[in-house]
Amino acid sequence: MKYYAIIVAGGSGSRMQSDVAKQFLLLDGKPILMHTLEAFANSELQPELLLVLNIHQHQYWEELCKTHSFTIKHLVIKGGAQRFHSVKNGLKAIKGKGIVAIHDAVRPLLSADLILRSFIAAEEHGNAVAGVQSTDSVRSINPEGKTEALNRENLLMIQTPQTFTVDILRKAYQQPFRNEFTDDASVVEYSGYTIHMIAGNRENIKITYPEDLEIASILKKKASENIKGLELY
Ligand SMILES: Nc1ccn([C@@H]2O[C@H](COP(=O)(O)OP(=O)(O)OP(=O)(O)O)[C@@H](O)[C@H]2O)c(=O)n1
Ligand SMILES: C[C@](O)(CO)[C@H](O)COP(=O)(O)O
């Protein structure tokens, strides 16, 4: 079986309000995006890596790779206007069959175990989408501002990786874009498939706002200390 990972890094990171797009901000001395690529490169099934980047950032990325001596093999593909179009461009670069994980570049803290489980479950069920239970109470709100409590037992917070057979994802991404398509699971569901959920990682946060980077730094430090600790025994 052939495995692929499409790392989507074509966004501008407007909510982060930083000078450079958030995927290039440093986490533990290295661009966030490099941590994400390393996570997949070091995972058991060794997926082929496809990196989707805004065309105007290709040269900047090349320079960053030189500066950080980053040598992990990956194909760079041009991004699209929305995440949907970036995924679609990544998918076009895959020619044959196989299993493909789609992952946000700005979720660098996912575990090797989650990557492996995601590929295995997608091979068995056709797709596998990571999610965690909400620890907050949740309410819906209508346009008039009226809110209503929701039963959080029935709700999941959706992460990436979202992993699919190439055939299923290809068929789903032939649809025209809709505003409701906030992730790949919604695209695939809209094309008629039932989504198979797997347990995500609580530390697999999406770095969106400045405080998320601070949280990620603490979690990364903790993860590095655990790895060093294990090497001692
Ligand atoms: N046209 C786009 C938009 C988003 N993404 C990627 O999709 C992931 C999740 O999107 P998000 O966190 O919303 O990133 P941005 O769109 O960059 O952030 P913002 O919405 O704050 O502008 C990110 O890794 C982002 O780079 C992408 O590849 N192409
Ligand atoms: C794909 C995603 O990370 C799943 O939670 C999320 O939908 C991306 O949303 P964003 O608004 O593009 O950050």
- The model's pLDDT over 4-56, given as tens digits with 9 standing for 90+, comes to 999 999 999 999 999 999 999 999 999 999 999 999 999 999 999 999 999 99
Please give the pLDDT value at position 223.
Answer: 85
Q: Is 8 in the pocket of ligand 1 (CB under 6 A)?
A: yes
61's enclosing H/E stretch is: helix 58-67
Average pLDDT value for residue range 154-160 = 97
| Location of structure tokens 């990682």 | 201
Contacts of 214 by beta carbon, 8 Å cutoff, 6+ apart: none
Query: pLDDT per residue over 65-102, tens digit each?
Result: 999 999 999 999 999 999 999 999 999 999 999 999 99
Q: What is the CATH number of domain 3-231?
A: 3.90.550.10
Distance (Å, whole) CA 157 – CA 136: 11
Round to whole Å and give the CA distance between 159 and 195.
Answer: 13
- For residue 184 and ligand 2, the question of a CB distance below 6 A is answered with no
Q: Is the CB of 159 under 6 A from ligand 2?
A: yes
Rounded mean pLDDT, 194-200: 98
Site to probe by mutation for ligand 1, drawn from 12, 160, 209 as the one with most ligand atoms within 8 Å of Cβ, is 12
- The pLDDT mean for the chain works out to 96
Please report the pLDDT score of residue 232 as a whole number. 45
Q: Whose CA is nearest to atom 13 of ligand 2?
A: 208
Q: Please give the pLDDT value at position 227.
A: 63
ipTM exceeds 0.90, yes or no: yes
Q: How far is the CA of 69 from the centre of ligand 1 (A)?
A: 25
Phi, psi angle pair for 5, to nearest 5° = -130, 120
Ligand 1 centre from 99 Cα, in Å?
23
Ligand 2 atom at minimum distance from 206 CA: 3
**Distance of alpha carbon 106 from alpha carbon 2, whole angstroms:** 25
Spacing, Cα 160 to ligand 2 middle (Å): 8
What value does the mean pLDDT take over residues 186-209?
Answer: 98
